[in-house]
Amino acid sequence: MTTLEHYASTPRPHRASLRNAVAGVLYPVVSFLRAWKNRRELGRMLEWDSRMLADIGVTEGDVRSALASASDEDPTLRLNHFAIERRAASRAHALDRRGLAADLRARGVSTRTIGEPWAR
C-alpha cells in the first residue's frame, strides 16, 4: 500500500489575513520610527559648514525647511526634493548661458567681456 500526502500550494486564507493585519499595524509604526531617526540625523546637519552642505547640493535653509515639515513626515525626502530642484535649475541656467554665448558668438560679439565691466 502507498500513502498519499496532500499539501496545499497556496497559503491558508486566515494566515494571509493575519499577516496583512500585522503588516497594517506595524507599517505606520516603522514609518514613524524611520522618520524620527532621519529627523535626528538631519538635525545634526545643521552643525555642518555651508561648504559641506553645498557639496551635497543643499543649503542651511533647505535643511531648516525640511525639518519644519510635519512630524510624521520623513524630512529627508523633502531635502532630497530641494536638492533635485536646485540641480535642475542650475543645469537649466547653464544651458541658457551656453545658448546666449552661442548667439553672441554667431553675431561676432566677444563673450569674454560679458559680465566683466573692467575689461570693457
Cell of 57: 547640493
Residue 86, H or E segment:
helix 75-106
Q: Hey, how many other C-beta atoms are within 10 angstroms of the C-beta on 74?
A: 20
CB-based burial of residue 115 (10 Å sphere; 0-12 exposed, 13-18 middle, 19+ buried)?
Answer: exposed
Asked if residue 33 belongs to a domain, the reply is yes
H and E: helices and strands count for the chain: 4, 0
Asked if residue 116 belongs to a domain, the reply is no
Asked if residue 29 belongs to a domain, the reply is yes
For residue 56, the SS3 value is coil
Asked if residue 100 belongs to a domain, the reply is yes
Domain count, the chain: 1
Asked if residue 8 belongs to a domain, the reply is no
Return d(Cα 46, Cα 64) in angstroms, integer: 8
Range of the domain at 106: 18-110
Which pLDDT score, from 0 to 100, does residue 101 have? 81
pTM of the model: 0.59
User: Which residue ranges in the chain fall short of pLDDT 50?
Assistant: 118-120
43 sits in the region (left: phi over 0; alpha: psi -120 to 50; else beta) called alpha
- Look up residue 2 and give its amino acid: T
Asked if residue 118 belongs to a domain, the reply is no
Which pLDDT score, from 0 to 100, does residue 37 have? 92
